[in-house]
Structure 1
């Protein structure tokens, strides 16, 4: 029986958290050279410390890596050890659910290395969701859908954002129809309406880097029911200019599960167009909401403060913390990609 049938649903990210889960970067194809790995670990630690100001943080480390991780993470951040392939807890970790009666559950999606990409390894990461769910004391529901946490975003009131190139891509779910995907998503998350985006940002696809083939959490996210923040690439020279225009138009015409027309808040992309010799997918949308805080990607860019002001207006009761996310984006993600919330129950 799926999770929703037992009364569980995925709350919005702004709902209170019990803690945040992360995973510690190790030597792999994503962080192939020592300098890149060192930069990634420093960036992951900065995010963990920023989140720890607001709520507990637990970091899953590969065996033998905890001591070195704690030296960078600093006091107050917990570590546990488990075999890992990579460090993207949003995607390999569980999607937590609540039932409103004190119950905690989690969906363990099928994970296949973001569409069985040639650089990915997932023998260990495919087991992390069940491991974290067990540590959290959650009831685990296993889904046959190949999916990741960065590929969904919910408003807590029945609406979920999805991307056609992810859940419907042949790399993940060959033969699945849109109706079948929606049925499985709703059955596990307790949602009732899916809003589909056609694709993600340009650099999220091969051969430009370690991409996800179009995760939604770098493009659009709910800020509250009826309101979405959307990546707005304003420079026509960047291919994401047309991508973001299409998505902004689509979301502006969409209604949510309650029948509300969505209010779209455009968040200008950073001014930099290229990074590491390729189109940049730097995005402020890939932020993380924690108890009393917004941890926001920064890029040493003039638009950093503009984004901080936008998020400050959207979340006036939360402190906005900017963290340099460039080393995270070098690996193929952002602040949201490396964090996973465990909601508070009761």
Structure 2
């Protein structure tokens, strides 16, 4: 069983725990294997699966992949499919438990580490499917405790709603987020901005919270930061921009860009902001998906970047190669995955190594 921190305990921050930057070495990356046809309707679930399996294979080149499987039947199916495409099954570990949906970044465990003691713990934030949009979500809400039990880690429950895709970290005390999501009354209506910031400091172990305004068209999360702005090192972000002034994303991304350009880190220095183009609108059956090159995953093997058979794919790859000079850029097709309104970062949650 997991060992919850006693109710009288100090907060994770006071105990010296912090959420590492994504480029910190991983022991594993956790995924919740998709099975819900409400997210990929009709034959779309089968059509996206090869892209999802390719994602697992790419991660497994550098670290373990933890897969949360809805039941033993799904575990057996996934094992067979991974073996068929040449994945080293020694790199795969399973937790079998009921699940509702696939977006592990948001319902999965948040792993904190104490840099001095090398201890880890799991923060079990509440999950309400992005403001109650997609019930039921009770099985997903139990995922952090199940993974913590599997790993034998301490857990702490802040008691509020929080999603991993809504927060971005530089590993040096700064957290980026968006007002449209964290201040949305469909998450924690009882809390104001100052109170939410206090939770972020206490349970993510950060010191500074920086805010942008909103997210992109097609994003049903109310503006997750991982579709618009990502840290690539302690003082540098890539920020999505739209060059067409008539595009629905133009104004909101320009607003976010201006905010980022005026921000200062804790050392008083400005953020280094690298502009990253948006793909040309990624349309599927008259639906504009939230396609974004910022929804990449930094893992041990490299940076896995979603591409969309889009005119801007190569430009984005080139920019990210310069932004990550010491890491391999791994472009993978997300043309079917994006129908579910998320991509590689949304699907994954990293577990730091010790």
Alpha-carbon distance in structure 1 between the residues aligned to 2:23 and 2:39 = 30
* Structure 1 counterpart of 2:131: 115
Find 2:77's aligned residue among 68, 81, 88: 68
* Structure 2 counterpart of 1:207: none
Within-5 A mapping of 1:333-344: 333-344=342-353
Superposition deviation, residue 313 in structure 1: 1.2
Superposition deviation, residue 240 in structure 1: 0.4
Alpha-carbon distance in structure 1 between the residues aligned to 2:17 and 2:36 = 37
Alpha-carbon distance in structure 2 between the residues aligned to 1:73 and 1:163 = 37
Alpha-carbon distance in structure 2 between the residues aligned to 1:73 and 1:257 = 44
* Structure 2 counterpart of 1:177: 192
1:43 aligns with 2:59: no
Superposition deviation, residue 273 in structure 1: 5.3
Q: Which range is displaced more, 81-90 or 296-305?
A: 296-305
Superposition deviation, residue 308 in structure 1: 1.4
Superposition deviation, residue 94 in structure 1: 0.9
Q: Could you list the runs of 5+ residues in structure 2 that have no partner in the other structure?
A: 1-9
Within-5 A mapping of 1:2-17: 2-17=11-26
SS at match of 1:258: coil
Alpha-carbon distance in structure 2 between the residues aligned to 1:302 and 1:32 = 27
1:263 aligns with 2:278: no
* Structure 2 counterpart of 1:300: 309
Superposition deviation, residue 316 in structure 1: 1.7
* Structure 2 counterpart of 1:163: 178
Moved over 6 A (4+): none
For the 8 Å contact 1:98–1:104, the answer to whether it is kept is yes
Call closer, same or farther: CA 1:110–1:162 in 2, change over 3 Å. Answer: same
* Structure 2 counterpart of 1:327: 336
Superposition deviation, residue 30 in structure 1: 1.1
1:54 aligns with 2:62: yes
* Structure 1 counterpart of 2:262: 253
* Structure 2 counterpart of 1:93: 108
CA deviation digits over 1:14-33, x for unaligned, max 9?
Answer: 01111111011113421231
Superposition deviation, residue 72 in structure 1: 2.5
Task: Say how many residue pairs are matched.
Answer: 337
For the 8 Å contact 1:238–1:279, the answer to whether it is kept is no
* Structure 2 counterpart of 1:105: 121
Alpha-carbon distance in structure 1 between the residues aligned to 2:81 and 2:319 = 31
Alpha-carbon distance in structure 2 between the residues aligned to 1:72 and 1:246 = 44
Alpha-carbon distance in structure 1 between the residues aligned to 2:103 and 2:206 = 24
SS at match of 1:79: strand
Alpha-carbon distance in structure 2 between the residues aligned to 1:191 and 1:232 = 27
CA deviation digits over 1:117-169, x for unaligned, max 9?
Answer: 1x332010000011112223321111122111111111011110111121111
Q: Report the TM-score when normalising by structure 1.
A: 0.94
Q: Which range is displaced more, 146-155 or 296-305?
A: 296-305
For the 8 Å contact 1:145–1:181, the answer to whether it is kept is no
Q: Report the TM-score when normalising by structure 2.
A: 0.92
Alpha-carbon distance in structure 2 between the residues aligned to 1:273 and 1:241 = 15
For the 8 Å contact 2:123–2:158, the answer to whether it is kept is yes
Superposition deviation, residue 199 in structure 1: 1.1
Alpha-carbon distance in structure 2 between the residues aligned to 1:260 and 1:106 = 32
* Structure 2 counterpart of 1:124: 139
Alpha-carbon distance in structure 1 between the residues aligned to 2:15 and 2:46 = 44
SS at match of 1:165: helix
